[in-house]
Structure 1
Amino acid sequence: MKRQLVNPPRTRALYDQSHFSQAVRVGDLIWVSGHVGIDPDTLRPAVGMAAQARFAFDGVRNVLKAAGAGLADTVELTTFHIDLRGADGAADIAEFTQVKGECFPDRYPAWTAVGGTQSARPELLVEIRAVAMAGSG
């Protein structure tokens, strides 16, 4: 099996500048790089966890589509959160979990949530990476 790099045209500059692929596919397995909550039209971070989670999941969805798969083919998610608890003790993870539930209404993938202290930009609240098996959804 050959390794296939997946870089949709809109992400080519990121590939050239930062030297990483949006995804790598080997056979039916697809590893998707981390996606963050940046609006692809304005290149600015969305405001709030729910909005950032939606943009990040849209990024994962678009890369999976370019790789010949979809969110339903996702077998594992790893999410990196700046604050798992939020100001009131649960808001950030609750908002994230709600958006994740919209993307995965059933047949849930394995999921690991990791808390961190900083992201690539201070406004970013979450980063999502995924592993998928094309055709398994």
Structure 2
Amino acid sequence: MKRQLVNPGPTQALYDALHFSQATRVGDMIWVSGQVGIDPITMKPAVGMEAQARLAFDNVRTVLEAAGASLDDIAELTTYHTDLRGDMPVFGRVKDAFLTERYPSWTAVGVPQLALPEVLVEIRVVAVVGSGSRADSGRRDRSPAR
């Protein structure tokens, strides 16, 4: 299997300047680099947790689609927060608007700072192309019965 670099549209400039891809795909696996609430065109951070989280999830969706996947294919979600406890209720509502069923595993980490002082949250995901099939979405808990 070959490694495919994924850098949609205007993100190519980040690859050229900072030497990292927005995502890497190997087979059906996709590792998405941390996405933040910065507009990819203007390079300006959104104001507030809700706006940044929405923009960061929009950026995740754009990268996944460029790699041939969707938000439904996310298997693992890792989020980094500069105010983990204070922003979690707002972030949780935004997350649930983007990831509406078949929730992935999720780790939330509090950090003292991110790439820019205005950035409040960073979202990193691992996805498996085609794994988000809704065929078995009726049963959310797939653990064995006891």
Q: Which has the larger radius of gyration?
A: 2
Aligned to 1:116: 111
Aligned to 1:12: 12
Listed one character per residue, the Cα deviations across residues 58-94 of structure 1 (whole Å, up to 9, x for unaligned) are: 01000000000000000000000001122xxxxx100
SS class of match (1:39): coil
Q: Distance in 1 between matches of 2:39 and 2:32?
A: 18
Is 1:134 equivalent to 2:129 in the alignment?
Answer: yes
Structure 2 residue runs without a partner (length 5+): 133-146
Aligned to 1:89: none
Q: Distance in 1 between matches of 2:68 and 2:24?
A: 12
Aligned to 2:144: none
TM-score for both structures, normalised by structure 2? 0.88
Indicate the structure whose relative CO is greater, using CA pairs within 8 Å and at least 6 residues apart. Answer: 1
How many residues are treated as equivalent by the alignment? 132
Aligned to 1:74: 74
Is 1:102 equivalent to 2:97 in the alignment?
Answer: yes
The percentage of counterpart residues that share the same residue type is 68
Q: Distance in 2 between matches of 1:16 and 1:39?
A: 18
Could you list the structure 1 runs, at least 4 aligned residues long, displaced by more than 3 angstroms after superposition: none
Q: Distance in 2 between matches of 1:105 and 1:64?
A: 17
Q: CA RMSD in A?
A: 0.8
Residues 11 and 40 of structure 2 are in contact (CA less than 8 Å); yes or no, is this contact kept in structure 1?
no
Q: Distance in 2 between matches of 1:123 and 1:81?
A: 12
